[in-house]
Amino acid sequence: MTPQPVNLAAAFASFDEVYAPRVAAELNGQMVKLAKIQGQFVMHSHPNEDELFLVQRGELLMHFEDGPTRTIREGELIVVPRGVRHCPDAHEECWVLLFEPASTLNTGEEGGERTRDAVPLAVSMDEAQR
């Protein structure tokens, strides 16, 4: 099978739910997840995984339990090292790409009612490739 590009705008347009990651691609045991963020999430960490956030649209605030809040703007990324407690936040809807191992839960070791498994995009490949 020949690899096909994924149109990120079409992929993000295919869902509305915030803090509910969608899988856009998989490679080498890693997932490229798309998520919409608005409002403050939960403070958590991932004891065994680093987590990369790449802002596609909007502005992401990353609160750290033991450090200053960082602002990540469109076209910027931040890597949260394993074990570092963090809390994503956005005043307005923000679109992010997450690069992380397939086993990574969105709430890390905190668990709870906001835990969501990443699900495949519900957009057809034809739409996502435009």
Closest CA to 115 of 21, 15, 31, 16: 21
The contacts of residue 23 (CB under 8 Å, 6+ apart) are 31, 32, 33, 118, 119, 120, 121
Residue 89 CA to residue 40 CA, distance in Å, equals 4
Which pLDDT belongs to residue 127? 52
Token pair for 61: 């605030």
Which pLDDT belongs to residue 125? 46
Token pair for 23: 């899988």
Digitized pLDDT (tens) for each residue of the chain, 130 residues in all: 888 899 999 999 999 999 999 999 999 999 999 999 999 999 999 999 999 999 999 999 999 999 999 999 999 999 999 999 999 999 999 999 999 888 887 767 766 777 677 777 865 445 544 4
Residue 93 CA to residue 16 CA, distance in Å, equals 10
Domain 9-108 has CATH 1.10.10.10: no
Residue 124 CA to residue 7 CA, distance in Å, equals 11
Look up the pTM and report it: 0.86
The answer to whether the beta carbons of residues 124 and 85 sit under 8 Å apart is no
Residue 79 CA to residue 39 CA, distance in Å, equals 20
